[in-house]
Amino acid sequence: MSDNVVKFKGNGTGLIMLLDQNTPYPKLEAAIKARLAENAKSFPAGTVIKTSPNGFGQKAQAAMMAIFDEYSLKLEFSDEALVRNAPAARSEHRAHRDMPAGRDERVEEMLVINRTVRGGEEISSKSSVLICGNVNPGAQIIAGGSIDIRGTCRGVVHAGAFGDTEAFVIADNLMPVQIRIADLIARSPDNMEKRDKAERAFIKDGQIVIESIER
């Protein structure tokens, strides 16, 4: 039941929790506990997860925040977070996944990799990909959706691999050899320096641009 009621999804700045507002709160709270029991180890301690405050009073919000605090996670209520009918997140059960034959395949899930991706390794998924670790030089990440790296990215990353021009790449330290989004390619400068803030690469006006973001 929890898979249909509570879902985690990556957005432009991090993770959001999507909830079925038609579910009574007692069952919703039980579903949140079940989902965290399944997925919390995939998220680094201190990870901020946002959700919509719609329909939740202060008492319910405080109770939900306390549940996340038990896993050293921080729940924030934001009007920007969507609420229902969104893709689910799941932990990795194999690193290499079959790619879809068509470019119009819709992203339905998020693949969570709870480790560093080593040089020479390739992670491929038709969905969005969350890496809770570094992407080392020589590693390659290919995603049908977006890519979120909770660490340093020094490998090759390809988001929107099947033509999704709204896909993006986020990393705490975005220092890749090459970034691809849909059919566009950008290379990092030779003197790339470590930044103080996380960065997001996305398509704007027909080219890949990079901006600093707050996690």
Does one domain contain both 68 and 104? no
Q: What is the pLDDT of residue 191?
A: 60
Convert the pLDDT of each residue in 131-178 to its tens digit: 999 999 999 999 999 999 999 999 999 999 989 999 999 999 999 999
| 62 and 158 co-located in one domain | no
The pLDDT assigned to 117 comes to: 94
Task: Determine the Cα–Cα distance for residues 90 and 109; give it in Å rounded to an integer.
Answer: 7
Q: Does residue 133 share a domain with residue 69?
A: no
Measured from the Cβ of residue 55, the count of other Cβ atoms closer than 10 Å reads: 11
pTM of the predicted model as reported, rounded to 2 decimal places = 0.58
Strand order across the beta sheet in which 207-213 lies: 88-91, 109-113, 128-131, 147-153, 169-174, 198-204, 207-213
Helix (H, G, I), strand (E, B) or coil at 203: strand
Residues 103, 183 within the same domain? yes
How far is CA 193 from each of CA 13, 28, 150, 173, 205, rounded to the nearest angstrom? 21, 44, 17, 9, 25
pLDDT higher than threshold 90 for residue 179: yes
Q: Domain range holding 176?
A: 92-213
| Same domain, yes or no: 98 and 172 | yes
Pair of tokens at residue 88: 């689910």
Residues 6+ apart with CB under 8 A from 146: 10, 128, 129, 159, 160, 167, 168, 169, 170
Asked, for residue 83, whether it belongs to a domain, the answer is: no
Residue 114 pLDDT more than 80?
Answer: yes
Looking at the domain assignment, is residue 137 inside a domain?
A: yes
Q: Are residues 117 and 170 in the same domain?
A: yes
Q: Which of 7-16, 124-133, 192-201 has the lowest mean pLDDT?
A: 7-16
Question: Which domain CATH number covers 149?
Answer: 2.160.20.70
